[in-house]
Structure 1
Amino acid sequence: MARAQAIVIKDMQILMVQHKDAQTEWWCLPGGGIEENESPEECVIRELYEECQVNGKIIRQTSHSVHDDGFQSYTYYVDIGHEQPTLGFDPNELSKNYRLVDVKWMKLEEIPERDRAYLWASGLIGVSDFSKVVETWGNEISLPKGP
């Protein structure tokens, strides 16, 4: 199985979608599962439209990761021009125990640390001025306490 997702930036804010299941809510980049005979590039544009109701143009790929179980994730930096995102849908909601509940532009400091970690792994550090943000962080250890 594989997933493709979009990094969309406007005024140092990241387009994020919120999912919810019976126990938890989380923010992530717009994206989803790559369908049979679909390229990751086709998938990311389709998913962006489904979840955020906007058309996008891929600028470049920012990451490709392969997990221990073989799952692959592709991330693309995508431009949506002046289109305004609105809450769309996730066709998988009908067959799974989760749903899409919100879409919005978010500043880094508004995103929970757990969800923010996935953004850096998806290549956010190489997009726009976000590497300059990291340079301001200093040397303090700030890892949240585990369970």
Structure 2
Amino acid sequence: MTVLQNPSSPLFTGCKLALLFHDQLVVYRRDNISSIPFPNLWDFPGGGREGNESPEQCVLRELDEEFSIALTQDRLIYKQGGANQTADGMSYFYVAEANKQEIESIQFGDEGQYWRLMPIAEYLQCEEAILPLQQRLRVYLETISDI
């Protein structure tokens, strides 16, 4: 796994995952509720830490809860640490790749309005996408373009 800005801190509070399927991302429209961060914007799977779970356990649990996709830790291909935008502490941004069977078997959970596959280029330009996620995704794409 490629790791960028990975400060070792036990104070992480949440994670997000850019789940790629070819040149597309699995995204979902957040609920349109003013009391939550980033209402009605396009988001990635992920969420807050529960108990003493590791960042990897957190992001994989959230993916399973939100989309019924159970990946193993070795499927995570990129990790980037940074400040959490919605809570105190660190957050981690991951990237993984999904296969056709996983995409076809998605069962969307009860958070958010609906999900879709969105072309990566569209997400990066979308005014209704979450800016910090756009920024983190750009850093990942710059990292792989250097290879």
Alignment match, 2:70? 55
Residues 1-147 of structure 1 mapped to structure 2, 5 A cutoff = 2-23=13-34, 24-56=39-71, 57-61=75-79, 63-67=80-84, 70-82=88-100, 83-84=102-103, 86-90=106-110, 99-107=111-119, 108-109=121-122, 112-115=126-129, 117-127=131-141
Assess if the C-alpha contact under 8 Å between 1:52 and 1:86 holds in 2.
yes
Q: C-alpha distance in 2, partners of 1:20/1:131?
A: 34
Deviating runs (4+, > 4 A) in structure 1? Answer: 128-132
Q: Between Structure 1 and Structure 2, whose CA radius of gyration is higher?
A: 1
Number of residue pairs the alignment of both structures matches:
123
Identical aligned residues as a percent: 24
Q: C-alpha distance in 2, partners of 1:19/1:41?
A: 22
Using the size of structure 1 for normalisation, the TM-score is: 0.67
Using the size of structure 2 for normalisation, the TM-score is: 0.67
| Larger RCO, structure (CA 8 Å, separation 6 or more) | 2
